[in-house]
Structure 1
Amino acid sequence: MGMAAPAACGNHSHTTWNHIILVIAMVLIFSAPSVYAQCRILRCNSEFVAATLEMGVTGGREGSNARYCSALRSYALCTQRTARACRGDLAYHSAVQGIEDLLIQHRCPKTGPTAQPRPLPQAPLSEDGCVYEKGRAPDYLHCGVFGDPHIRTFNDEFQTCAVQGAWPLIDNKYMYIQATSTPTRGSSYSTVLTKITVIFKNSRECAELQIYQAELDNVPPAFVDGSMTSGDRRGHQSLRIHSHDPGKYVEIRATHIGTTLLVRQVGPSLSLSVRSPRAIVESYTPEQDLQLCVWGCPVSQRLEMPPAHLSTAAYAHCSSLLPVRDVYFQSCLFDLQVTGNLNSSASAVAALEDARAMISDPERVHLLTARAGNTTPTLPVVLAMSVLTETLRRAVSVPV
């Protein structure tokens, strides 16, 4: 899967984005919980990260550099407002220096318009407070991303994406989720999920902006700021992380929007499963026009999954783990075909487990397609599929 998130400006956009992430990561790492009550640098950092991530999704359009410079000036203004409280704080001084560097790098005037404050989204909450489910029975939707990677959308469509890079999975009023895939070792066409970034946006009085990030071999049991809960209101936490398997599997609950996220590492790949009410999923604007969990992969980056020719042992392996010939069985065969590693089947098994936990109607769990039949495939297409995938990768992986 992949989209190199379009950068904000100029010919140095790819380098710029890496620089931004490095600067912000350093700032967040050195932010100490003891100064949160006085020094508001973490909020400045989070607002800038959220602004540039969203800008990255639509970057490259006319005016993006001006908007990026406005975001930088807003970041600088935020740090100025908290300067007195942050005196002597390493995170604050790192942020100030990073802003100076970026203003110079992008030739941004230090004076000029700043980004207009975005109104806080008004969550469709019940009168009972920051618990979405109270007093209502939401229509829940499910999205799963796993394997090479494969996507089951909120609309129960199933696709496989062909290209490496970073893509937005969800982008609405309440959360932004981005996934990154990279080529598997020794392969120029097979990819796996290696990074997942989740941003919970400010939601009225129930939750402040919070960030979670998982990478391959590092699925932390906490948000970026080190906390495991957030949005404390009258003894209730709107956001909570629970680690089921330290470093490998976490569950994130956002009760104020009735949403549950499961982040796993299964073998050499990450996976994500989401359960969210329809009203939350559909709370986006026309500008938020790229969401893989909503519309799936762009047509140019979809990879058809042709019938596979596998050894009897490989076919029997997937059949023993996934007896129903659904999209999860199909994914198991596909991943075995492109990796040659029997362990790659584990991602499809875990994704099916998550789907069972998140879909209330058992009849909807096993998503069937015309190609997920009961007949053993016989056409050898490993080479053809490899050529197709490599062609697609080259066609859309245009240097920035």
Structure 2
Amino acid sequence: MQRPRASRVGELEFCGIPVWAGWMGMGRRDAPFGYRLLGLLSLALWLPAVSCQCRILKCNSEYLSATSGLHVGTEESAEFCIALRAYSQCTRKTARACRGDLAYHSAVHGIEDLMNQHNCSKVGPTQTPARAQPTSLDCMVHSDAPELCNYEKSLQRHAPHPNYTHCGLFGDPHLRTFTDDFQTCKVRGAWPLIDNNYLFVQVTNVAVVPGSSATATSKLTVIFKNFQECVDQKVYQAETDDLPAAFVDGSRNGGEKHGANSLRVLERVAGQHIEIHAKYIGTTIVVRQLGRYLTFAVRLPEEVANSFEDNQGLQLCLKGCPTNERMDWRLPQPRKGGSAAPHSAFTREAATAKCRERLPVDDLYFRSCVFDLLTTGDVNFTLAAYYAFEDVKNLHSNKDKLHIYQRTADHSEGNSAPGRPSLQTLPISHFLLICSLWCCLAHL
């Protein structure tokens, strides 16, 4: 079995997919048959999957769904045995891929104990009511996600206008956080953007040019965690020159559950632009490839963004980049010959003119464009800044906050407060007037 390898920020990676310690699926946690079963399934749901094909979390979720509301010792015990046999059959189908998975072995031993405890025969029907094939009428009524799997519809009675937030990463990379803080970061290697109870997003950044601290995103991994009756666990992964229109298992929706269409991958421009719509959590993700690098943008409810444990770890979209990874990204001073860097083909005037073609407003998107051209000389970063702003226009809920402007303090010199002139900047007439007033006051 392939051993997981540790990456830079404390997560494990297996088959190229990150696995975080303490990461928990979003399945139903209240098992109906006593503390023994509750403990078993809680353990199984808490343990991370360590195989690319192991589907034990899917088996756990199906079993919990099938036994919801049943009670031991009643006429429903037969349905309980049917669910256990189906659970056992599901684990056998995934046995080869789950060798060495502790969650899998815990489930197998737990099933055997429960079947013996409740006198269930190992031979018999395995079709549970929850897995019955839908009728044609059901398909018509539920062609779209049910209310449970549509975040906005499920909130209409209580919060008709949920609050949404936005995060974006593009270019060198430049980060816009959930709180509209704008930063430029080095963050080379693998870093988590989002890590909450429903969603995990990680980017991998690589050096753009030798001898420079500039980095850009070459790989993106998105994990939608298993959620009740709506979706199975799904993983989307994109890399340079590989922007697929499907999840890693080849599917384009949330799996085999009733609300599977509440999670969909849509291809807007082949190899350049995909969108992932997760209606069950009210979330939209936009991924683009521009030149050799990827951009990321997301819109999600604040309730979803804030659904995480206190010790869940670093999230760049929530907390920004660590202080030691941030760059002073004010426009670099040009070197001799007019170019900002040896590898840049742009002078500041040329970079400004090029960025002005697509970004007429002098905001931080425009300045990030100029910065990237001076730092890397790659004209594709102009498109990265342009489309990052286009995504903000489509995804940000507050149209008054689309543009972010550089603070006055960034332009000031020394320790002078913004807008307050120093003595060196005062006209000579004002300076003489102040001296005269001071002399008069001294003789009073």
Indicate whether 1:366 and 2:403 are aligned: yes
* Equivalent residue runs for 1:61-80 within 5 Å: 71=47, 78=56
Secondary structure at the residue paired with 1:345? Answer: helix
CA distance in structure 2 between the aligned counterparts of 1:164 and 1:72, rounded to whole angstroms: 25
Question: Residue 228 of structure 1 contacts residue 241 of structure 1 at CA under 8 Å; is this kept in 2?
Answer: yes
How many angstroms does 1:73 deviate by? 10
Indicate whether 1:84 and 2:92 are aligned: yes
How many angstroms does 1:162 deviate by? 1.2
CA distance in structure 1 between the aligned counterparts of 2:217 and 2:190, rounded to whole angstroms: 9
Q: Structure 2 stretches of 5 or more lacking a match?
A: 1-6, 25-42, 60-86, 109-144, 334-346, 413-444
Question: Residue 50 of structure 1 contacts residue 199 of structure 1 at CA under 8 Å; is this kept in 2?
Answer: no
Indicate whether 1:192 and 2:220 are aligned: no
CA distance in structure 2 between the aligned counterparts of 1:319 and 1:265, rounded to whole angstroms: 22
Question: Residue 231 of structure 1 contacts residue 238 of structure 1 at CA under 8 Å; is this kept in 2?
Answer: no
CA distance in structure 1 between the aligned counterparts of 2:48 and 2:279, rounded to whole angstroms: 32
Question: Residue 149 of structure 2 contacts residue 259 of structure 2 at CA under 8 Å; is this kept in 1?
Answer: no
Q: What is residue 21 of structure 1 aligned with on the other side? A: 15
Secondary structure at the residue paired with 1:321? Answer: coil
Q: What is residue 182 of structure 1 aligned with on the other side? A: 206
Secondary structure at the residue paired with 1:253? Answer: strand
Change (3 A) 1:73 1:128: closer
* Alignment partner of 2:226 out of 172, 185, 202: 202
Q: What is residue 8 of structure 2 aligned with on the other side? A: 4
Question: Residue 22 of structure 2 contacts residue 48 of structure 2 at CA under 8 Å; is this kept in 1?
Answer: no
CA distance in structure 1 between the aligned counterparts of 2:258 and 2:11, rounded to whole angstroms: 41
Change (3 A) 1:368 1:199: same
Change (3 A) 1:187 1:245: farther
Q: What is residue 278 of structure 1 aligned with on the other side? A: 302
Give the residue type in structure 2 aligned to 1:6. G
Question: Residue 305 of structure 1 contacts residue 334 of structure 1 at CA under 8 Å; is this kept in 2?
Answer: yes
Question: Residue 150 of structure 1 contacts residue 160 of structure 1 at CA under 8 Å; is this kept in 2?
Answer: yes
Q: What is residue 277 of structure 2 aligned with on the other side? A: 253
How many angstroms does 1:287 deviate by? 1.3
Q: What is residue 320 of structure 1 aligned with on the other side? A: 357
Q: What is residue 129 of structure 1 aligned with on the other side? A: 148
* Equivalent residue runs for 1:299-318 within 5 Å: 299-309=323-333, 310-318=347-355
Percent of aligned pairs with the same residue?
39
Q: Structure 1 stretches of 5 or more lacking a match?
A: 9-16, 25-48, 56-66, 104-110, 115-125, 376-400
Change (3 A) 1:256 1:316: same
1:99-158 CA-partner distances (Å, limit 9, x unpaired)? 49xx9xxxxxxx99x9xxxxxxxxxxx993211111122111110001111100010000
Question: Residue 5 of structure 1 contacts residue 167 of structure 1 at CA under 8 Å; is this kept in 2?
Answer: yes
CA distance in structure 1 between the aligned counterparts of 2:249 and 2:381, rounded to whole angstroms: 33
Give the residue type in structure 1 aligned to 2:210. G
Change (3 A) 1:208 1:340: same
How many angstroms does 1:359 deviate by? 1.7
* Equivalent residue runs for 1:1-400 within 5 Å: 4-7=8-11, 17=13, 20-21=14-15, 50-52=19-21, 54=23, 71=47, 78=56, 84-86=92-94, 92=96, 96=99, 99=100, 128-134=147-153, 135=156, 136-231=160-255, 237-309=261-333, 310-370=347-407
Q: What is residue 30 of structure 1 aligned with on the other side? A: none
Give the residue type in structure 1 aligned to 2:150. V
How many angstroms does 1:266 deviate by? 1.0
CA distance in structure 2 between the aligned counterparts of 1:341 and 1:210, rounded to whole angstroms: 34
How many angstroms does 1:191 deviate by? 1.0
Taking structure 1 as the reference length, the TM-score comes to: 0.66
Secondary structure at the residue paired with 1:237? Answer: helix
Change (3 A) 1:7 1:176: closer
Question: Residue 226 of structure 2 contacts residue 233 of structure 2 at CA under 8 Å; is this kept in 1?
Answer: yes
CA distance in structure 2 between the aligned counterparts of 1:150 and 1:291, rounded to whole angstroms: 15
CA distance in structure 1 between the aligned counterparts of 2:191 and 2:23, rounded to whole angstroms: 11
How many angstroms does 1:312 deviate by? 1.6
Question: Residue 232 of structure 1 contacts residue 238 of structure 1 at CA under 8 Å; is this kept in 2?
Answer: no
Kindly indicate whether structure 1 or structure 2 has the higher relative contact order, using CA contacts under 8 Å at least 6 residues apart. 1
How many angstroms does 1:320 deviate by? 2.2
Secondary structure at the residue paired with 1:230? Answer: coil
CA distance in structure 1 between the aligned counterparts of 2:327 and 2:389, rounded to whole angstroms: 21
Question: Residue 326 of structure 1 contacts residue 372 of structure 1 at CA under 8 Å; is this kept in 2?
Answer: no
How many angstroms does 1:228 deviate by? 0.6
Question: Residue 327 of structure 1 contacts residue 372 of structure 1 at CA under 8 Å; is this kept in 2?
Answer: no
Give the residue type in structure 1 aligned to 2:8. A
How many angstroms does 1:340 deviate by? 1.5
1:213-237 CA-partner distances (Å, limit 9, x unpaired)? 0111111000011001115665761
CA distance in structure 1 between the aligned counterparts of 2:50 and 2:324, rounded to whole angstroms: 36
1:224-264 CA-partner distances (Å, limit 9, x unpaired)? 11001115665761100110011221000000000000010
CA distance in structure 2 between the aligned counterparts of 1:320 and 1:224, rounded to whole angstroms: 38
Secondary structure at the residue paired with 1:129? Answer: helix
Secondary structure at the residue paired with 2:151? Answer: coil
CA distance in structure 2 between the aligned counterparts of 1:153 and 1:333, rounded to whole angstroms: 21
How many angstroms does 1:174 deviate by? 0.5
Question: Residue 179 of structure 1 contacts residue 196 of structure 1 at CA under 8 Å; is this kept in 2?
Answer: yes
CA distance in structure 1 between the aligned counterparts of 2:408 and 2:293, rounded to whole angstroms: 25
CA distance in structure 1 between the aligned counterparts of 2:49 and 2:230, rounded to whole angstroms: 28
Q: How large is the RMSD of aligned CA atoms in angstroms?
A: 3.6
Question: Residue 326 of structure 1 contacts residue 373 of structure 1 at CA under 8 Å; is this kept in 2?
Answer: no
CA distance in structure 1 between the aligned counterparts of 2:183 and 2:176, rounded to whole angstroms: 7
Change (3 A) 1:146 1:372: farther
